[in-house]
Structures are given as C-alpha cells and as structure tokens.
Amino acid sequence: MRELAEVRLTAWVHGHVQGVGFRWWTRARALELGLTGFAANKPDGRVQVVAQGPRESCQRLLDLLQSGETPGRVDNVASDFTEPRDSLQGFTER
C-alpha cells in the first residue's frame, strides 16, 4: 500500500495544556508547516489537535507536540493518521 500524500492527524494532548498558550503555539507551528485544521480545548482538560496536509508535515507537528518544548506540560499524546476528510480552511483555535 502506498503512503498517502495527504493525511489527517488527530492528536489528543494530555497534561497541563489549557490556559498556557498551547493552542496558539500549536496554530503557529501548524501554519509554519502549511497545515490546515484546528486546536480545541476539551472539557476534560485535554487539547484536541486536528491537522491536514502532507504526511511529513503532519508527522513533524506530532513530533513538536511531543518535544517537551511546548507551552505548559504535555504528559501524553494519543494520535492517529487517517485519510483527509472535509476540507479545512486555515488553522484555528477553538
């Protein structure tokens, strides 16, 4: 099976990641990588990151989320790659 050129990354970021500029930081990194999508606070304290674009760029964003160099404190990132779905415009904070 050939690698998908375009993918959708869905990442659930656990830790102290709300109220610390994490979504803004994620948006800035995603835009630098040319990705579309969003970063959203969830009621349980996690941040959901959805990004679409080239697989290499999505993997780079995932690496950055796990790098230990984000605002706040990331304890764990659960992620998966799927086929891109509905087209997303820009990268927003929700």
CA atoms within 13 A of residue 40's CA, in its CB half-sphere: 10
Single-letter amino acid code for the residue at 26: T
CB 12, CB 65: distance < 8 Å: no
Q: Residues with catalytic annotation?
A: 23, 41
The backbone torsions φ and ψ at residue 79, rounded to the nearest 5 degrees and listed phi first, read -145, 160
Cβ count within 10 A of residue 54? 15
